[in-house]
Structure 1
Amino acid sequence: MTETLTILYQDEYLLAVNKPSGLLVHRSMIDRHETRFAMQILRDQIGQHVFPIHRLDKPTSGVLVFALSSEVAALMNKQQVAKDSKWHKGYLAVVRGWAPEDIFIDHALKEKLDKIVDKKAQQDKPAQSAQTQIKRLATTELDVKIEGFDKSRYSLVWAEPEQGRKHQIRRHCKHISHPIIGDAKHGRGRHNRYFKEQLNCPRLMLHAAYLQLQHPITAETIVLWAELDDCWQHLLHGFDWQSALPESLQLDSI
């Protein structure tokens, strides 16, 4: 059966999909053995080329937008970086510990370069400004001993990054000592393994749930929401977190 992606929005200029965790946006030397790419799947699905406007990490799921021409892609790229950008993003994440109720993280991030892909890039770039607003939506405490504590605490958070630095939310969560579950690079291995082996959640618990943007041609405001996958839904059900979700993501009982 031919693989397809769930389309959230489509017209003659733009296409938005709900990217599943584990899918690359396009070919990458970092993952040279991977054979599945969102661009290729969409090209086969709709019968025309697509042009990525932004990125989501391979393990991150959620709203991913493409232009259907290079001209529209150029317009959207300018819109993203404009001082009065109409782009607004919201992410759901599960983090270790009880996160602060409401925290604004202003922590510059130095670009992390890949030894293969970025070997010709400037190696001594200064840190770039990065701000993320994080709000705690719900908490849970499990009678599970991990890393020496008799109980283990976790939080469901909503994150709104003001920029799109590489791994911005993941690095900011680590910066405040509340790393995202399933983050192999910035997280905590024992907690990641517990979620994978005991809670059947082997993925990075970061989901690009919401994106608001301005249509580059009509100037219409477009609001996109991406539903949560089975891993997310079962975890939210098990922790009784469904009612803490934004209304547009409220789940029916499983």
Structure 2
Amino acid sequence: MLPILFQDEHLIAIHKPSDLLVHRTSLDAYETRFAVQLLRDQIGQHVYPAHRLDKATSGVLLFGLNPNVARTLSMQFTAREIHKQYLAIVRGWPSETGSIDHPLELRKDDAELFGDEVPKGAQASQTEFRRLATIELPWTVDKYPSSRYALVELNPITGRRHQIRRHLKHISHPIIGDSTYGKGNHNRAFAQAFGVNRLLLACLKMTFPHPISGQRMTVSAPLAADFSRVVAELAWLGTLTDYNISHEPPQANQNRQRQIFV
């Protein structure tokens, strides 16, 4: 069952788990599970995705319960009327706050959701970020005797495919667990230390005008258990008082943590 965060007669929001596609795509032709079909079967009616969320990313995902509502929500995304908050763990220590303004080429999957015509050339793309916490671990992952990581809040102003992941790679702070734009040695270090094999990126909050009433509303998702466990073991939970976080670390992961930090 997909966790439902909000539902009325016009729209529905779910907490999409990591490793689930929103809809069928030729880029992952062998996948058989999709949020669109799972949710349709779960609630017994057709649903229409209003935006995209990468397969590897967890968090808030909005659907219209009819094509017109989905279209209105999609237009709100395009008009930048929807404020999105993401959380990520990245390699290195970025600035305390910043804005990444770096044009990105549109990718094939954009056409699958928004039509057949994809604009040529790089498109304007902006992402704001705020560093929430840092840590330095005694790992010799690269050529240095220790490795730095940070917990970062992100607000993508535009909505290009893989925008946050590509932007963080652009500033040399790739997301941990990103097999496409990240660093394999750091990904493997986190997998071995924390038993987590996913992209550590989640959309935890969306604020937007209701497509019918116009009333301002906020939909929030809890941090997924595997992501939350890593945050807890890095002693970062105290920085997330504005988010819906709950966590009880398994004993096995507590043992792993002690081995890392000794």
Same fold (TM over 0.5): yes
Amino acid in structure 2 at the alignment position of 1:42: L
Find the counterpart in structure 2 of residue 88 from structure 1: 83
SS for the counterpart of 1:125 is coil
1:182 is displaced (CA, Å) by: 0.7
Amino acid in structure 1 at the alignment position of 2:194: L
Whether 2:138 is the aligned partner of 1:149: answer no
Whether 2:21 is the aligned partner of 1:15: answer no
Q: Which one of the candidate residues 150, 159, 166 is aligned to 2:154? A: 159
SS for the counterpart of 1:27 is coil
**How many Å separate the matches in 2 of 1:246 and 1:6?**
22
Name the % identity: 47
**How many Å separate the matches in 1 of 2:119 and 2:218?**
38
1:32-181 equivalence runs, <5 A: 32-82=29-79, 85-113=80-108, 125-181=120-176
Q: Is the 8 A contact 1:243 1:250 kept in 2?
A: no
Find the counterpart in structure 1 of residue 227 from structure 2: 232
1:242 is displaced (CA, Å) by: 0.2
**How many Å separate the matches in 2 of 1:252 and 1:185?**
29
TM-score (norm 1): 0.92
Structure 2, gaps ≥5 residues long: 250-262
Q: Which moved more, 1:212-221 or 1:70-79?
A: 70-79
**How many Å separate the matches in 2 of 1:177 and 1:154?**
12
Whether 2:188 is the aligned partner of 1:193: answer yes
1:214-225 equivalence runs, <5 A: 214-225=209-220
SS for the counterpart of 1:174 is helix
Amino acid in structure 1 at the alignment position of 2:203: A
1:248 is displaced (CA, Å) by: 2.9
Q: Is the 8 A contact 1:105 1:172 kept in 2?
A: yes
Q: Is the 8 A contact 2:106 2:119 kept in 1?
A: no
Q: Is the 8 A contact 1:80 1:86 kept in 2?
A: yes
**How many Å separate the matches in 1 of 2:18 and 2:119?**
32
Amino acid in structure 2 at the alignment position of 1:38: A
**How many Å separate the matches in 2 of 1:81 and 1:103?**
22
SS for the counterpart of 1:236 is helix
Whether 2:237 is the aligned partner of 1:242: answer yes
**How many Å separate the matches in 2 of 1:223 and 1:124?**
32
TM-score (norm 2): 0.89
Q: Is the 8 A contact 1:25 1:55 kept in 2?
A: yes
Q: Is the 8 A contact 1:132 1:162 kept in 2?
A: yes
1:10 is displaced (CA, Å) by: 0.0
Q: Is the 8 A contact 1:51 1:73 kept in 2?
A: yes
Structure 1, gaps ≥5 residues long: none
Find the counterpart in structure 1 of residue 26 from structure 2: 29
Q: CA RMSD in A?
A: 2.0
CA gap 1:198/1:223 in 2 versus in 1, 3 angstroms: same
1:121 is displaced (CA, Å) by: 6.4
What is the aligned residue count? Answer: 247
1:216 is displaced (CA, Å) by: 1.0
Q: Which moved more, 1:71-80 or 1:19-28?
A: 71-80
**How many Å separate the matches in 2 of 1:242 and 1:157?**
13
**How many Å separate the matches in 2 of 1:222 and 1:108?**
30
Amino acid in structure 2 at the alignment position of 1:68: L
1:253 is displaced (CA, Å) by: 5.4
